[in-house]
């Protein structure tokens, strides 16, 4: 690999010469390095370094996982609901984030445990605070689409320091974004565990 990195494009024959090996001896190794993506080969040109490390190849594997296939069911509420009832809903549904929607499932806000804790620090009774006051509101919401990769979604989670993303699509009629799923840090952690067990994909 070092030879190809330094001198590529270089033919198999030239590499064999440099290593004092016959081409036949070398052929399986070059085949492995080519098939596994570390080297590229072009007929009548020779081998050259693909610039991809083992980790990049792992990355390519990961980039085949799609939001569409891993999203879970969204738990939604309306913006007149009280913060108190929203906390109850969270416990009942066992989720860490609620999506606030209006008619047609159109996204208007996101309500995280953090938002609810912030409300609970005030002096007002939680029964009297509507969700609409506590939530993060459109257009300040980070979303993801069905055709995005899980990797893009995970990157958004980390960059924007949020626990969950609503998965959205264009509604059949009208404006806005329709909520069709959710991707959370739990989703990503589950995929990580599945990959380790060799059962993913």
- Binding-site member from 13, 45, 69, 118 for its own copies (CB under 8 A): 118
Per-residue b/e over 93-120, b at no fewer than 16 CB within 10 Å? eebbbbbbbeeebbbbbbbbeebbeebe
Interacting residue with its own copies among 157, 165, 167, 177 (CB under 8 A): 157
The contact mask relative to its own copies for 29-58 (x = CB under 8 A, - = no) is x-xx--xx---------------xx-xx-x
Name the phi and psi angles at 146, rounded to 5.
-60, -35
Which residue number, 91 or 172, has a Cβ lying nearer to its own copies? 91
What region does 185 belong to: left with phi over 0, alpha with psi -120 to 50, or beta? alpha
Are 47 and 37 contacting, i.e. CB atoms less than 8 angstroms apart?
A: no
174 in contact with its own copies (CB under 8 A): no
Rounded to whole angstroms, the Cα distance separating 71 from 165 reads 10
Which chain residues interact with its own copies by CB under 8 A?
Answer: 24, 27-29, 31-32, 35-36, 52-53, 55-56, 58-59, 61-63, 84, 87-88, 90-91, 94, 96, 113-114, 116-118, 120-121, 126, 151, 154-155, 157-158, 161, 163, 185-186, 188-193, 195-201
């Amino acid at each position: 690999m070092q030879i190809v990195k330094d001198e590529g494009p270089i033919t198999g024959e030239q590499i064999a010469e440099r290593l004092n090996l016959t081409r036949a001896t070398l052929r399986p190794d070059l085949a492995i390095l080519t098939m596994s993506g570390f080297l590229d080969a072009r007929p009548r040109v020779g081998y050259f370094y693909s610039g991809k490390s083992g980790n990049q190849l792992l990355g390519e594997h990961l980039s085949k996982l799609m939001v569409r296939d891993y999203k879970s069911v969204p738990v939604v509420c309306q913006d007149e609901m009280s913060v108190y009832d929203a906390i109850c809903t969270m416990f009942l549904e066992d989720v860490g984030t609620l999506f606030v929607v209006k008619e047609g499932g159109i996204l208007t806000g996101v309500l995280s445990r953090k938002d609810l804790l912030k409300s609970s620090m005030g002096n007002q009774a939680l029964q009297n605070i509507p969700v609409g006051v506590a939530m993060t509101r459109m257009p300040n919401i980070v979303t993801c689409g069905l055709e995005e990769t899980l990797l893009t979604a995970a990157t958004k989670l980390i960059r924007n320091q949020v626990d969950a993303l609503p998965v959205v699509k264009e509604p059949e009629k009208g404006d806005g974004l329709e909520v069709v799923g959710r991707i959370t840090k739990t989703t990503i952690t589950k995929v990580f565990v599945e990959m380790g067990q060799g059962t993913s994909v």
